[in-house]
Amino acid sequence: MLCSGVLLVGGCSTAEEAPPAAGSTGGAEVATLQTGAPTPTVSATPAQAERPRERLDDTPEDKKERLKPYMKCLTEHGVDITKRRSDGTGADGTSGAAKACEHLMPLPPWEFDPANPEAKDFARDVVKCLRDKGVRYVEVGADGTGWAFGGKNNDPESISKGLKYSPACEREVAAKRK
């Protein structure tokens, strides 16, 4: 028997239920998981918990709701979020609050995450879809996980069409990958 995971439920022996000694003739041998002490109950701390992740199909309301715990944490750490600067520090320069609340900041959708080995392929396929829909100036972003519209001259038609068709292309490409 193989027991794995954080929570062990029946079927695994504890130190008090040691198997018969080797060479014993008393019954069939059973594979057991042995530990020096009973397995403690593990509860995840906020730092250990998995960060929330945005989804491609999130509505603006979904995004706002997912961000609430992060914003609440910042407020609890003394950051006036109405005066928060774009560099992640509060009006009083408290970048420590952002670090303390980092575990609550939503990750990007998996399709855009640089940790996803298929993110570059996703971006390339979305760019192809956008070109197929008439977006003339669109290219994969510098980090390989996004795309940019307009080219060097910021072509307004490409930007407009790109913004219009991106959500549909994202969904289309994601659906093909599942």
Phi, psi of 10 (to 5 degrees): 10, 150
Question: Taking residues 128-157, what's their average pLDDT?
Answer: 92
The verdict on residue 125 lying in a domain is: yes
pLDDT in tens, 77-94: 888 877 755 555 544 445
80: containing domain: 60-104
In a domain, 42, yes or no: no
- Ramachandran assignment for 27, one of left (phi > 0), alpha (psi -120 to 50 degrees), beta (any other): left
Could you tell me if 149 and 168 lie in one domain?
yes
The residue-averaged pLDDT of 65-72 equals 93
Q: Is the pLDDT of residue 123 over 50?
A: yes
Kindly state whether residues 95 and 122 are assigned to the same domain. no
Q: What CA–CA distance (Å, rounded) separates 53 from 61?
A: 14
Looking at the structure, tell me whether residues 139 and 94 fall in a common domain: no
Reply yes or no on whether the pLDDT at 8 is more than 60: no
Model confidence, pTM: 0.58
Three-state DSSP at 159 gives helix
pLDDT of 53 > 90? The answer is yes
Tally of domains in the chain: 2
The verdict on residue 168 lying in a domain is: yes
Of 114, 132, 120, residue with least CA distance to 168: 132
Q: Is residue 32 part of a domain?
A: no
Q: Is residue 27 part of a domain?
A: no
Residues in the chain: 178
